[in-house]
Amino acid sequence: MSPKSNDYLEEQIISSIQSGEYFRNPYPLFAEIRSITPVFYSKTIGGWLLTRHQDVDEVLKDAETFSSKGRVLYLLSQLPTEIQSQVNLLHKHFATGLAHSDAPEHRRLRGLLARAFTSKMTEGMRETTRKIARELITQTDNEFDFLEDVFTPLPALVVGTLLGSERSDIPNLIRWAHAVNGLYERGGHISPEKALAAEKLLAEMREFVLDLVERRRELAKSSELDASQDVLAGLVAAERDAGALSEDELLSTAVTLFVAGHETTTHLLGNGFVALLSDPELWHQIKNDATRSHQFIEEMARFDGSVPRSWRIAKNEARINGVKIAKGDLVLPILAAANHDPEVFANPDKFEPDQDNKKHLAFGKGVHVCLGAPLARMEAQEVLMALIDLKPKLKLKKPAEALNWRSNMALRGLMTLPVISN
Protein backbone atom coordinates (compact mmCIF):
# COMPACT_ATOMS: atom_id res chain seq x y z
CA MET A 1 0.00 0.00 0.00
CA SER A 2 1.93 3.04 -1.23
CA PRO A 3 1.54 6.57 0.20
CA LYS A 4 0.68 7.70 -3.31
CA SER A 5 -2.26 5.31 -3.58
CA ASN A 6 -3.36 6.29 -0.04
CA ASP A 7 -3.37 9.97 -0.89
CA TYR A 8 -5.10 9.36 -4.20
CA LEU A 9 -7.91 7.29 -2.66
CA GLU A 10 -8.39 9.78 0.18
CA GLU A 11 -8.72 12.56 -2.40
CA GLN A 12 -11.23 10.46 -4.34
CA ILE A 13 -13.31 9.86 -1.21
CA ILE A 14 -13.30 13.54 -0.25
CA SER A 15 -14.22 14.60 -3.78
CA SER A 16 -16.98 11.99 -3.99
CA ILE A 17 -18.51 13.07 -0.67
CA GLN A 18 -18.32 16.78 -1.48
CA SER A 19 -19.89 16.31 -4.92
CA GLY A 20 -22.60 14.02 -3.53
CA GLU A 21 -21.56 11.16 -5.82
CA TYR A 22 -20.72 9.04 -2.78
CA PHE A 23 -24.42 9.06 -1.94
CA ARG A 24 -25.83 8.96 -5.48
CA ASN A 25 -23.69 6.06 -6.68
CA PRO A 26 -20.80 4.86 -4.48
CA TYR A 27 -20.19 1.63 -6.41
CA PRO A 28 -17.56 2.93 -8.89
CA LEU A 29 -15.60 4.42 -5.98
CA PHE A 30 -15.79 1.16 -4.01
CA ALA A 31 -14.63 -0.74 -7.09
CA GLU A 32 -11.64 1.57 -7.48
CA ILE A 33 -10.68 1.20 -3.81
CA ARG A 34 -11.00 -2.59 -4.12
CA SER A 35 -8.76 -2.65 -7.19
CA ILE A 36 -6.04 -0.47 -5.61
CA THR A 37 -6.09 -1.07 -1.85
CA PRO A 38 -8.96 -3.32 -0.71
CA VAL A 39 -8.07 -2.76 2.96
CA PHE A 40 -7.74 1.00 3.20
CA TYR A 41 -7.68 3.39 6.15
CA SER A 42 -9.66 6.53 5.39
CA LYS A 43 -9.03 9.51 7.64
CA THR A 44 -12.11 11.20 6.18
CA ILE A 45 -14.45 8.36 7.09
CA GLY A 46 -12.53 7.43 10.22
CA GLY A 47 -11.81 3.73 9.87
CA TRP A 48 -10.56 0.81 7.80
CA LEU A 49 -12.67 0.29 4.66
CA LEU A 50 -12.96 -3.35 3.56
CA THR A 51 -14.18 -3.68 -0.01
CA ARG A 52 -13.49 -7.34 -0.94
CA HIS A 53 -16.26 -9.86 -0.32
CA GLN A 54 -13.82 -12.32 1.24
CA ASP A 55 -12.50 -9.81 3.78
CA VAL A 56 -15.97 -8.52 4.68
CA ASP A 57 -17.28 -12.07 5.08
CA GLU A 58 -14.37 -13.12 7.31
CA VAL A 59 -14.58 -10.09 9.60
CA LEU A 60 -18.33 -10.43 10.06
CA LYS A 61 -17.89 -14.08 11.05
CA ASP A 62 -14.95 -13.43 13.40
CA ALA A 63 -16.64 -12.04 16.51
CA GLU A 64 -13.70 -13.18 18.62
CA THR A 65 -11.38 -10.68 16.94
CA PHE A 66 -13.74 -7.95 15.75
CA SER A 67 -16.12 -6.71 18.42
CA SER A 68 -19.58 -5.19 18.29
CA LYS A 69 -19.37 -4.16 21.94
CA GLY A 70 -18.43 -0.53 22.46
CA ARG A 71 -18.87 0.52 18.83
CA VAL A 72 -21.05 3.52 19.57
CA LEU A 73 -19.03 4.37 22.68
CA TYR A 74 -15.97 4.51 20.42
CA LEU A 75 -17.69 7.17 18.31
CA LEU A 76 -18.99 9.05 21.35
CA SER A 77 -15.49 9.16 22.84
CA GLN A 78 -14.37 11.32 19.92
CA LEU A 79 -16.88 14.07 20.69
CA PRO A 80 -15.63 17.28 22.36
CA THR A 81 -15.47 16.93 26.16
CA GLU A 82 -18.21 19.50 26.71
CA ILE A 83 -20.56 17.52 24.44
CA GLN A 84 -19.73 14.15 26.03
CA SER A 85 -20.85 15.48 29.40
CA GLN A 86 -24.28 16.19 27.88
CA VAL A 87 -24.90 12.74 26.38
CA ASN A 88 -24.81 10.49 29.44
CA LEU A 89 -27.92 8.60 28.32
CA LEU A 90 -26.28 7.72 24.99
CA HIS A 91 -23.31 6.27 26.89
CA LYS A 92 -25.61 4.26 29.14
CA HIS A 93 -27.94 3.09 26.38
CA PHE A 94 -25.22 1.88 24.00
CA ALA A 95 -23.19 0.13 26.69
CA THR A 96 -25.48 -2.89 26.47
CA GLY A 97 -28.15 -4.55 24.33
CA LEU A 98 -28.29 -7.07 21.51
CA ALA A 99 -26.51 -5.01 18.83
CA HIS A 100 -23.84 -3.74 21.21
CA SER A 101 -22.57 -6.91 22.87
CA ASP A 102 -20.27 -9.90 22.35
CA ALA A 103 -20.43 -13.47 23.61
CA PRO A 104 -21.39 -14.67 26.12
CA GLU A 105 -23.64 -11.64 26.74
CA HIS A 106 -24.78 -11.53 23.11
CA ARG A 107 -25.54 -15.26 23.04
CA ARG A 108 -27.78 -14.91 26.11
CA LEU A 109 -29.57 -11.83 24.76
CA ARG A 110 -30.12 -13.28 21.30
CA GLY A 111 -31.37 -16.54 22.78
CA LEU A 112 -33.94 -14.69 24.88
CA LEU A 113 -35.03 -12.51 21.98
CA ALA A 114 -35.26 -15.47 19.61
CA ARG A 115 -37.84 -17.01 21.94
CA ALA A 116 -40.06 -13.93 21.44
CA PHE A 117 -39.04 -13.00 17.89
CA THR A 118 -39.91 -16.34 16.33
CA SER A 119 -40.44 -17.33 12.71
CA LYS A 120 -44.00 -18.22 13.71
CA MET A 121 -44.56 -14.66 14.94
CA THR A 122 -43.03 -13.26 11.76
CA GLU A 123 -45.22 -15.44 9.57
CA GLY A 124 -48.17 -14.57 11.77
CA MET A 125 -47.61 -10.94 10.76
CA ARG A 126 -48.04 -11.73 7.07
CA GLU A 127 -51.79 -11.15 6.92
CA THR A 128 -51.47 -7.94 8.94
CA THR A 129 -48.67 -6.76 6.64
CA ARG A 130 -50.75 -7.60 3.57
CA LYS A 131 -53.68 -5.56 4.89
CA ILE A 132 -51.44 -2.60 5.76
CA ALA A 133 -49.75 -2.69 2.35
CA ARG A 134 -53.02 -2.83 0.44
CA GLU A 135 -54.57 -0.10 2.60
CA LEU A 136 -51.63 2.26 2.08
CA ILE A 137 -51.44 1.60 -1.67
CA THR A 138 -55.20 1.95 -2.14
CA GLN A 139 -55.08 5.40 -0.51
CA THR A 140 -52.58 6.74 -3.08
CA ASP A 141 -53.48 8.76 -6.17
CA ASN A 142 -52.20 8.19 -9.70
CA GLU A 143 -49.12 10.19 -8.75
CA PHE A 144 -47.61 9.66 -5.30
CA ASP A 145 -44.39 9.42 -3.32
CA PHE A 146 -43.45 5.81 -2.65
CA LEU A 147 -41.36 6.70 0.41
CA GLU A 148 -43.81 9.02 2.12
CA ASP A 149 -47.01 7.17 1.27
CA VAL A 150 -46.02 3.48 1.42
CA PHE A 151 -42.43 2.54 2.19
CA THR A 152 -42.02 4.66 5.34
CA PRO A 153 -45.32 3.93 7.11
CA LEU A 154 -45.49 0.22 6.26
CA PRO A 155 -42.41 -1.09 8.15
CA ALA A 156 -43.09 1.38 10.95
CA LEU A 157 -46.60 -0.02 11.37
CA VAL A 158 -45.39 -3.62 11.15
CA VAL A 159 -42.54 -3.27 13.65
CA GLY A 160 -44.70 -1.06 15.85
CA THR A 161 -47.29 -3.84 15.95
CA LEU A 162 -44.63 -6.38 16.88
CA LEU A 163 -43.57 -4.16 19.78
CA GLY A 164 -47.17 -3.69 20.88
CA SER A 165 -47.52 0.02 20.17
CA GLU A 166 -50.62 1.76 18.86
CA ARG A 167 -51.03 3.16 15.36
CA SER A 168 -51.14 6.67 16.80
CA ASP A 169 -47.62 6.12 18.19
CA ILE A 170 -46.05 5.64 14.75
CA PRO A 171 -45.19 9.30 13.95
CA ASN A 172 -43.24 9.55 17.21
CA LEU A 173 -41.52 6.22 16.63
CA ILE A 174 -40.41 7.39 13.18
CA ARG A 175 -39.17 10.70 14.61
CA TRP A 176 -37.20 8.93 17.34
CA ALA A 177 -35.69 6.43 14.90
CA HIS A 178 -34.50 9.26 12.62
CA ALA A 179 -32.73 10.88 15.55
CA VAL A 180 -30.95 7.70 16.67
CA ASN A 181 -29.95 6.74 13.14
CA GLY A 182 -28.61 10.25 12.63
CA LEU A 183 -25.72 9.35 14.94
CA TYR A 184 -24.13 7.19 12.24
CA GLU A 185 -24.57 9.21 9.07
CA ARG A 186 -20.95 10.45 8.97
CA GLY A 187 -19.32 7.03 9.17
CA GLY A 188 -16.63 6.91 11.85
CA HIS A 189 -17.53 10.31 13.31
CA ILE A 190 -20.57 11.72 15.13
CA SER A 191 -21.80 15.27 14.64
CA PRO A 192 -22.14 17.05 18.04
CA GLU A 193 -25.52 18.43 16.95
CA LYS A 194 -26.75 14.94 16.05
CA ALA A 195 -25.51 13.57 19.38
CA LEU A 196 -27.43 16.21 21.37
CA ALA A 197 -30.59 15.64 19.33
CA ALA A 198 -30.32 11.86 19.78
CA GLU A 199 -29.81 12.26 23.55
CA LYS A 200 -33.07 14.17 23.86
CA LEU A 201 -35.21 11.96 21.63
CA LEU A 202 -33.71 8.71 22.91
CA ALA A 203 -34.89 9.71 26.38
CA GLU A 204 -38.42 10.10 24.99
CA MET A 205 -38.26 6.76 23.20
CA ARG A 206 -36.96 4.85 26.23
CA GLU A 207 -39.70 6.37 28.39
CA PHE A 208 -42.28 5.26 25.82
CA VAL A 209 -40.90 1.71 25.64
CA LEU A 210 -40.71 1.48 29.44
CA ASP A 211 -44.39 2.43 29.65
CA LEU A 212 -45.23 -0.44 27.26
CA VAL A 213 -43.13 -2.78 29.37
CA GLU A 214 -44.82 -1.70 32.61
CA ARG A 215 -48.25 -2.35 31.15
CA ARG A 216 -47.19 -5.92 30.33
CA ARG A 217 -45.69 -6.38 33.77
CA GLU A 218 -49.04 -5.44 35.32
CA LEU A 219 -50.75 -8.08 33.18
CA ALA A 220 -48.11 -10.62 34.20
CA LYS A 221 -48.82 -9.98 37.89
CA SER A 222 -52.43 -11.04 37.38
CA SER A 223 -51.49 -13.91 35.04
CA GLU A 224 -53.30 -12.16 32.17
CA LEU A 225 -50.23 -11.65 29.97
CA ASP A 226 -50.22 -13.47 26.63
CA ALA A 227 -46.52 -13.95 25.90
CA SER A 228 -47.27 -14.43 22.19
CA GLN A 229 -49.13 -11.14 21.68
CA ASP A 230 -45.99 -9.18 20.77
CA VAL A 231 -42.21 -9.18 21.23
CA LEU A 232 -42.24 -7.07 24.39
CA ALA A 233 -44.80 -9.37 25.98
CA GLY A 234 -42.52 -12.32 25.25
CA LEU A 235 -39.55 -10.58 26.83
CA VAL A 236 -41.55 -9.55 29.91
CA ALA A 237 -42.86 -13.10 30.27
CA ALA A 238 -39.25 -14.31 30.36
CA GLU A 239 -38.21 -11.87 33.11
CA ARG A 240 -38.67 -14.52 35.82
CA ASP A 241 -36.30 -16.91 34.06
CA ALA A 242 -32.65 -17.21 34.96
CA GLY A 243 -30.50 -15.00 32.75
CA ALA A 244 -33.42 -12.76 31.72
CA LEU A 245 -32.75 -9.32 30.29
CA SER A 246 -32.03 -6.53 32.73
CA GLU A 247 -34.16 -3.43 32.31
CA ASP A 248 -31.36 -1.57 30.51
CA GLU A 249 -30.81 -4.55 28.19
CA LEU A 250 -34.53 -4.75 27.48
CA LEU A 251 -34.84 -1.04 26.70
CA SER A 252 -31.72 -0.97 24.53
CA THR A 253 -32.81 -4.06 22.61
CA ALA A 254 -36.40 -2.88 22.10
CA VAL A 255 -35.19 0.49 20.79
CA THR A 256 -32.78 -1.28 18.46
CA LEU A 257 -35.55 -3.50 17.09
CA PHE A 258 -37.57 -0.52 15.97
CA VAL A 259 -34.69 1.70 14.86
CA ALA A 260 -33.02 -1.12 12.91
CA GLY A 261 -36.24 -2.61 11.56
CA HIS A 262 -37.87 0.54 10.27
CA GLU A 263 -35.68 2.74 8.05
CA THR A 264 -33.63 -0.18 6.77
CA THR A 265 -36.75 -1.81 5.30
CA THR A 266 -38.03 1.53 4.03
CA HIS A 267 -34.90 2.03 1.94
CA LEU A 268 -34.50 -1.62 0.95
CA LEU A 269 -37.88 -1.16 -0.75
CA GLY A 270 -37.11 2.30 -2.11
CA ASN A 271 -33.72 1.39 -3.57
CA GLY A 272 -35.07 -1.87 -4.92
CA PHE A 273 -37.96 -0.23 -6.73
CA VAL A 274 -35.69 2.35 -8.32
CA ALA A 275 -33.83 -0.57 -9.91
CA LEU A 276 -37.04 -2.39 -10.86
CA LEU A 277 -38.76 0.60 -12.41
CA SER A 278 -35.63 1.88 -14.16
CA ASP A 279 -35.89 -1.11 -16.47
CA PRO A 280 -39.46 -1.66 -17.76
CA GLU A 281 -38.53 -5.22 -18.72
CA LEU A 282 -37.83 -6.10 -15.08
CA TRP A 283 -41.22 -4.79 -13.94
CA HIS A 284 -42.82 -6.70 -16.81
CA GLN A 285 -41.04 -9.91 -15.75
CA ILE A 286 -42.15 -9.84 -12.12
CA LYS A 287 -45.72 -8.85 -13.02
CA ASN A 288 -45.98 -11.83 -15.36
CA ASP A 289 -44.45 -14.31 -12.92
CA ALA A 290 -44.97 -13.34 -9.28
CA THR A 291 -43.58 -16.71 -8.17
CA ARG A 292 -40.15 -15.17 -8.74
CA SER A 293 -40.69 -12.60 -5.99
CA HIS A 294 -38.11 -14.21 -3.70
CA GLN A 295 -35.39 -13.97 -6.36
CA PHE A 296 -36.24 -10.34 -7.06
CA ILE A 297 -36.19 -9.39 -3.37
CA GLU A 298 -32.81 -11.04 -2.80
CA GLU A 299 -31.44 -9.19 -5.80
CA MET A 300 -32.83 -5.92 -4.44
CA ALA A 301 -30.87 -6.54 -1.25
CA ARG A 302 -27.67 -7.45 -3.10
CA PHE A 303 -27.82 -4.84 -5.83
CA ASP A 304 -28.55 -1.75 -3.73
CA GLY A 305 -29.22 -2.60 -0.10
CA SER A 306 -30.10 -0.01 2.50
CA VAL A 307 -27.19 -0.77 4.86
CA PRO A 308 -23.97 -0.05 2.94
CA ARG A 309 -21.60 -0.85 5.79
CA SER A 310 -21.23 -2.71 9.04
CA TRP A 311 -18.70 -1.79 11.73
CA ARG A 312 -16.53 -3.48 14.32
CA ILE A 313 -13.75 -2.66 16.79
CA ALA A 314 -10.55 -4.75 16.65
CA LYS A 315 -10.19 -6.44 20.05
CA ASN A 316 -6.55 -7.22 19.41
CA GLU A 317 -3.97 -6.53 16.75
CA ALA A 318 -5.05 -8.40 13.63
CA ARG A 319 -4.32 -8.79 9.94
CA ILE A 320 -6.82 -8.49 7.11
CA ASN A 321 -5.57 -9.50 3.69
CA GLY A 322 -2.02 -8.96 4.95
CA VAL A 323 -2.69 -5.47 6.34
CA LYS A 324 -2.03 -4.91 10.06
CA ILE A 325 -4.97 -3.57 12.06
CA ALA A 326 -4.13 -2.12 15.46
CA LYS A 327 -6.03 -3.05 18.61
CA GLY A 328 -8.91 -0.62 19.09
CA ASP A 329 -9.13 0.43 15.44
CA LEU A 330 -12.53 0.89 13.80
CA VAL A 331 -13.10 -1.55 10.95
CA LEU A 332 -15.83 -0.84 8.38
CA PRO A 333 -16.82 -3.89 6.31
CA ILE A 334 -18.46 -2.26 3.28
CA LEU A 335 -21.40 -4.57 2.56
CA ALA A 336 -22.30 -2.63 -0.58
CA ALA A 337 -18.80 -3.15 -2.00
CA ALA A 338 -18.77 -6.85 -1.09
CA ASN A 339 -22.10 -7.31 -2.85
CA HIS A 340 -20.59 -5.89 -6.06
CA ASP A 341 -17.37 -7.92 -5.97
CA PRO A 342 -16.83 -9.45 -9.45
CA GLU A 343 -14.93 -12.32 -7.82
CA VAL A 344 -18.24 -13.51 -6.35
CA PHE A 345 -21.03 -12.16 -8.58
CA ALA A 346 -21.03 -12.65 -12.34
CA ASN A 347 -22.61 -9.30 -13.23
CA PRO A 348 -22.27 -7.29 -10.02
CA ASP A 349 -23.31 -3.90 -11.41
CA LYS A 350 -26.41 -5.17 -13.19
CA PHE A 351 -29.75 -6.04 -11.58
CA GLU A 352 -30.15 -9.69 -12.57
CA PRO A 353 -32.63 -11.62 -10.41
CA ASP A 354 -31.66 -14.90 -12.05
CA GLN A 355 -27.97 -14.72 -11.16
CA ASP A 356 -26.65 -16.61 -8.15
CA ASN A 357 -26.90 -14.05 -5.34
CA LYS A 358 -26.97 -16.43 -2.38
CA LYS A 359 -23.67 -15.10 -1.04
CA HIS A 360 -24.84 -11.51 -0.68
CA LEU A 361 -24.13 -9.90 2.69
CA ALA A 362 -26.90 -7.30 2.79
CA PHE A 363 -28.21 -8.68 6.09
CA GLY A 364 -24.77 -9.30 7.57
CA LYS A 365 -23.20 -12.63 8.55
CA GLY A 366 -22.17 -14.54 11.64
CA VAL A 367 -23.61 -14.18 15.14
CA HIS A 368 -24.82 -10.64 14.40
CA VAL A 369 -26.70 -11.54 11.22
CA CYS A 370 -29.87 -9.44 11.09
CA LEU A 371 -32.52 -10.98 13.33
CA GLY A 372 -35.23 -9.14 11.40
CA ALA A 373 -34.16 -10.29 7.92
CA PRO A 374 -37.08 -12.78 7.59
CA LEU A 375 -39.49 -9.97 8.55
CA ALA A 376 -37.97 -7.57 6.00
CA ARG A 377 -38.19 -10.20 3.27
CA MET A 378 -41.82 -10.92 4.15
CA GLU A 379 -42.71 -7.21 4.11
CA ALA A 380 -41.01 -6.75 0.74
CA GLN A 381 -42.85 -9.72 -0.72
CA GLU A 382 -46.26 -8.49 0.47
CA VAL A 383 -45.64 -4.97 -0.85
CA LEU A 384 -44.50 -6.35 -4.19
CA MET A 385 -47.57 -8.58 -4.51
CA ALA A 386 -49.92 -5.74 -3.55
CA LEU A 387 -48.35 -3.36 -6.09
CA ILE A 388 -48.55 -5.92 -8.88
CA ASP A 389 -52.26 -6.29 -8.13
CA LEU A 390 -53.20 -2.67 -7.41
CA LYS A 391 -50.65 -0.59 -9.37
CA PRO A 392 -49.56 -2.72 -12.36
CA LYS A 393 -48.69 0.29 -14.55
CA LEU A 394 -46.10 1.78 -12.21
CA LYS A 395 -43.26 3.91 -13.54
CA LEU A 396 -40.83 6.49 -12.18
CA LYS A 397 -42.00 10.09 -12.46
CA LYS A 398 -38.46 11.21 -13.30
CA PRO A 399 -35.27 9.37 -14.32
CA ALA A 400 -33.32 7.57 -11.60
CA GLU A 401 -30.38 9.90 -12.26
CA ALA A 402 -32.49 12.89 -11.17
CA LEU A 403 -33.48 11.44 -7.78
CA ASN A 404 -32.06 12.95 -4.57
CA TRP A 405 -30.22 10.67 -2.16
CA ARG A 406 -29.73 11.12 1.57
CA SER A 407 -26.25 12.26 2.63
CA ASN A 408 -25.80 9.33 4.97
CA MET A 409 -22.90 6.86 5.06
CA ALA A 410 -24.67 4.34 7.28
CA LEU A 411 -28.06 4.19 5.61
CA ARG A 412 -28.41 4.32 1.85
CA GLY A 413 -31.72 5.75 0.70
CA LEU A 414 -33.61 8.38 -1.22
CA MET A 415 -35.14 11.63 -0.02
CA THR A 416 -38.25 11.06 -2.14
CA LEU A 417 -39.40 8.55 -4.76
CA PRO A 418 -42.17 10.05 -6.95
CA VAL A 419 -43.98 7.55 -9.18
CA ILE A 420 -46.88 7.44 -11.64
CA SER A 421 -49.35 4.58 -11.72
CA ASN A 422 -51.35 5.08 -14.89
Helix (H, G, I), strand (E, B), or coil: what is residue 341? coil
Q: What pLDDT, on the 0 to 100 scale, is given for residue 89?
A: 96
Strands 323-325 and 418-420: unpaired
Q: Which residue has the higher pLDDT, 59 or 234?
A: 59
User: Which pLDDT band holds residue 2 (cuts at 50, 70, 90)?
Assistant: low
Q: What pLDDT, on the 0 to 100 scale, is given for residue 408?
A: 94
Per-residue pLDDT tens over the stretch 271-300: 999 999 999 999 999 999 999 999 999 999
Per-residue pLDDT tens over the stretch 138-167: 999 999 999 999 999 999 999 999 888 999
User: Which pLDDT band holds residue 254 (cuts at 50, 70, 90)?
Assistant: confident
| High-pLDDT (> 70) share of the chain, % | 99
Number of structural domains in the chain: 1
In the predicted model, is pLDDT for residue 3 greater than 80?
no
Q: Of 215-229, 240-254, 255-269, which range is least confident?
A: 240-254
Contact 197, 182 (CB under 8 A): yes
Return d(Cα 343, Cα 55) in angstroms, integer.
12
Return d(Cα 37, Cα 19) in angstroms, integer.
22
Give the domain range for residue 170. 3-420
In the predicted model, is pLDDT for residue 128 greater than 60?
yes
- Helix, strand, coil distribution of the chain in percent, nearest 5: 60, 10, 35
Q: What pLDDT, on the 0 to 100 scale, is given for residue 1?
A: 53
CATH assignment of the domain containing 385: 1.10.630.10
Please write down the long-range contacts of 127-130, taking CB distance under 8 Å and 24 or more positions apart. 128/158, 128/161, 129/154, 129/158, 129/378, 129/379, 129/382, 130/382, 130/385, 130/386
Cα angle 22, 185, 295; round to 5 = 65
Return d(Cα 267, Cα 306) in angstroms, integer.
5
